[in-house]
Every structure is written in structure tokens, then in C-alpha cells.
Amino acid sequence: MLPQEQKLEIIYKGEKQILTYFFRPGELGTVLWLHAYCCGKEDFEPAFSNHLLDGYTLAGFDFPGSSNSPYPENKSFDFDDLVEMTKIFIENLKLKNVIVIGHSTGSLVASLLAERYPDLAKAVVSVEGNMDLGDCWLTKKIAGNSYEKFIQEILPEYLKSLEGGPIEVYGAHLRRANPRSCYDYAGSVLKYSEKGLETFLGLKVPKLFIYCKENSSLSYLPILKKEINVVEIQDSNHWPIYDNPDAFFKALSEFLKSNIY
């Protein structure tokens, strides 16, 4: 069960921004969850009841426009802004020994944070994170069209396609997200996915890549397996934290114990 949601008010580029977040203190290092494209901190809920993470400080926050963090009406944000806000979040909460977990596009933010601010990230875990443009079919379609076409055609059609499927949970996130934020972030997904693999492998910290059995044909898996620790999660499809939480948290806790603590 998640702890009560809290709000962090920051001043970013001269204006107030609210970041909604969850936080559970612990005596060990911090496991910080960065959610996927237009999703939310709620995806980290299984962590708060899993005994394998007992003792760790757990935190996760909503990027602007996702879940309960508002999105400004008078400006646009991109992934560079999300990196800076993650830095501000870590510093404001005085988080120590931070292991950053990025799910899907959240992995791009995690990698950029560790690359630009190496003192803030002790390790990076990518959960089916974007590694090349082949991971970007949806955001490529969004970025290549007008905002009007996105909200009138692309988004409704995509939401309908998710109904009854293995990632139906994603539809609930997208319905809740601010559509303007989804549109604005799409360009950054393309920009940083193009060299996602290079950036991730170049990080000077311990790294773990987690992928799901149903996506075992990812083209870059052979490269990752030669370079770093890679774990396959059985019976899952892009959302291992929901599909197979026992295997997911076992992989995560073993990585933490062998590489960090």
C-alpha cells in the first residue's frame, strides 16, 4: 500500500511548479522510480509492500502533466526539464545513495541524470528503457503530426487499441495525463532514444537492464548482454512490476545487494 501522496512546490524557471510524490524513509539507500511516458508514480506501488525492499528508502514522483502533477498552461516542458526537476527533487528531499530506476522512457531521464550529474546517481536500472528509435513508434507518430490531430485522432485510436490487451493499464494512465504534456514530451523521446543505448552503456555507474520475456527479440539485447547485467522476466510484457512482481523485485534486490550494498 502506498503512503499518503505529498506535494513538493518548487520554483522552476521563475514559476511555481507542483510535483506530487510518494516517500517512505528507510535506513538503506534510496530507490527512486522514474515513470514511463505519461504514466505515474503509482506504477511503483508494488514496491511498498514487497519485503525484498524492506529497509530501503523508496520514492517516486509524477512528471508535470502525469498523474497528479499539474502541467503549465503557458509553457512547454521537455526531457531536459524533467532531468532538472529530478535533480531538484533529489536535492529537496535530501535523498542519499540514490539508485534510479527508469521504466520505458523514464530510463532516458535516468540516464541523462546520471550522465549530467554523476554524483546524484549511484546506479541506474533500466526497465525496458528506450535504447533506439525502434522503441519510439508511438511518439514518432505523435511528434510527426499536429497537436490537433493527436488529440482528435491519434490518442483516441491508440486508447481504443489498448482495450482488453496486455498493457491496458497504460490506457488508464494516458486518459489521466495532460494531453499537451504527452504531445510536448514526444519530441524528447525521439531525440534521446536515438543514442539511448550509447548513453546508457557509457554511464560510469553500475547498471542493470530488465526486459520482459514477450519482448525478447529486442535488437539491442545481444549488445547489452555483452556489456552489463541483463535479466529476463518471465510471463511479462513491458510492465514486469505488475505482471511478475516476485521475479522483478528478486532481480532488483539481487542487483542492489551485489553492486551497491
**Band (168; pLDDT cuts 50, 70, 90):** confident
For 58-114, give the DSSP string.
EEEEPPTTSTTS---SS----HHHHHHHHHHHHHHTT--SEEEEEETTHHHHHHHHH
Predicted confidence (pLDDT) at residue 237 exceeds the cutoff of 90: no
Distances (CA, A) of 140 to 38, 135, 150, 200, 257: 15, 9, 11, 21, 38
Handedness of CA 237, 242, 243, 246 (dihedral sign): positive
Predicted confidence (pLDDT) at residue 113 exceeds the cutoff of 60: yes
pLDDT of residue 162: 86
pTM: 0.96
When mean pLDDT is compared across 9-13, 68-72, 166-170, the lowest value belongs to 166-170
Average pLDDT over residues 22-39: 96
* % of the chain with per-residue pLDDT over 90: 89
In the three-class reduction of DSSP (H, G, I as helix; E, B as strand; rest coil), residue 152 is classed as helix
Is the domain spanning 6-132+193-259 CATH 3.40.50.1820? The answer is: yes
Count CB-CB contacts under 10 A for residue 202.
12
